[in-house]
Amino acid sequence: MNYWLVKSEPNTYSWDDLVKDGSTYWDGVRNYQARNNLKGMEKGDLVLYYHSNIGKEVVGVAKVIKEHYQDPTTDDDRWVVVDIEPVSKLNTPVTLADIKDAKSLQKVPLVTHSRLSVMPVTKKDFDTIVKMGK
């Protein structure tokens, strides 16, 4: 199993939208590194759901339910999506400031590659962030 973090602006598509919809395809990725990360996702992988710009916090855990396929929002075959569904909401959101303050999380891509919208995280870092949110 792999672990990931995806970012979404909550005024565009929030955690609550994902919960309401039950699942969604993760579209709109137009960065090659983020696209390659989508291609690396496997069914059953767990995903930290991060609200960017507003809040700047991890708010929940989702799961990949369908591996990458052509992004239906474009005819350009370079871009892909995966399907995700919500697993659980964190009791307490874990802010970017919280993550930056945790010495053990200094190498998390959210800190080192902050502009990337889809990124891998280690199991240890995933577990640490989830624990911080309980």
Of 29, 4, 7, 37, nearest to 129 by C-alpha is 4
Domains, in order of start, for the chain? 3-132 (3.10.590.10)
Q: Tell me: the pLDDT tens digits for 60-107?
A: 999 999 999 999 999 999 999 999 999 999 999 999 999 999 999 999
Alpha-carbon span 116 to 61, nearest angstrom? 18
Short-list 124, 118, 8, 4, CA closest to 61: 4
Predicted confidence at residue 123, as pLDDT, reads 98
pLDDT of residue 9: 96
**pLDDT at residue number 7:** 98
Residue 26: DSSP 8-state: -
- pTM summary value: 0.97
In this predicted structure, what is the pLDDT of residue 63? 98
Q: How far is CA 133 from CA 56, 59, 74, in A?
A: 14, 8, 36
d(CA 34, CA 19): 23
pLDDT for res 23: 98
The whole-number pLDDT of residue 42 equals 98
What is the tens place of the pLDDT at every residue in 14-36? 999 999 999 999 999 999 999 99
pLDDT of residue 44: 98
pLDDT of residue 78: 97
